[in-house]
Amino acid sequence: MSSNVQFLIDNWVLVAAAVVSGTLLLRQSLAGGTGQGISPDEAVRLMNREKAAVIDVCEPDEFAAGHVIGSRSIPLATLGSAPNLPANKELPLIVVCASGVRATRAAAQLRKQGYAQAQVLRGGMKAWREAGLPVEIGAKGKA
């Protein structure tokens, strides 16, 4: 038996703990931001104190059904070529979708585009509504 295999056998408890830990981290990451991002309360603080812009990456019909007041509608598919992203890349961005899954992908894409402070609203619009925060209905989004 090779020394690597013997090490794994001798330290099976440590190996099992490492596998379980890695699996849990990977599952959380693939869950679409359930453990990542900022809470609705943190988002409100960023909006009020640091003038954070809110980018909603939902589809237009979802956006019209309800969105954060003052948010910009930029569907995920058009994010790479969107003309209405803030010019100031140092500005904090709060990325929102229905549940946080699309927003996680969008925030990663925005960070690659130079928006270092792009953050996901953890739980998306569902969490925003559950927190009792105001929602605007209609298709108009900030340009």
Q: Which residue, 76, 33, 80, is CA-closest to 58?
A: 76
Catalytic residues, by residue number, are: 97
Ramachandran angles phi, psi of 23, nearest 5°? -65, -45
- Helices then strands (H, E): number in the chain? 6, 6
User: Do the beta carbons of residue 36 and residue 76 sit within 8 Å?
Assistant: no
User: Do the beta carbons of residue 79 and residue 73 sit within 8 Å?
Assistant: no
The token pair that represents 83 in the structure block:
């003309």
